[in-house]
Amino acid sequence: MKWIIETIGIVLCVQGVGGGLSAILDGGRSWFLVRYVLPDGAQVPVAVVIALVGAVILLANSRKRQDA
């Protein structure tokens, strides 16, 4: 179960950081989810939130591993 949570955290981090960079650098529509589902003005802030949520999941998962 821990590897599933870790995978979700990694995917969120990649989607958040990549989508944010793609929006900032005015990249074309790519495989980053935020570029498809959000209007242009909301892409960067939501990408930052997604990346932060992914980082929090990864940190929480790594702390649970250390405690076990």
Alpha helix locations (H) across 25-67? Answer: 33-37, 43-67
pLDDT at 66: 67
State residue 2's pLDDT score: 83
One pLDDT digit (tens) per residue for the chain, 68 residues: 788 999 999 999 999 999 999 989 987 777 888 888 888 899 999 999 999 999 999 999 887 766 65
Q: What is the distance in angstroms between the CA of the first residue and the CA of the last residue of the chain?
A: 14
pLDDT the model gives residue 62: 84
Burial 38-55 (b: 16+ CB within 10 A, else e): beeeebbebbeebbeebe
Q: Are 15 and 34 in contact (CB under 8 A)?
A: yes
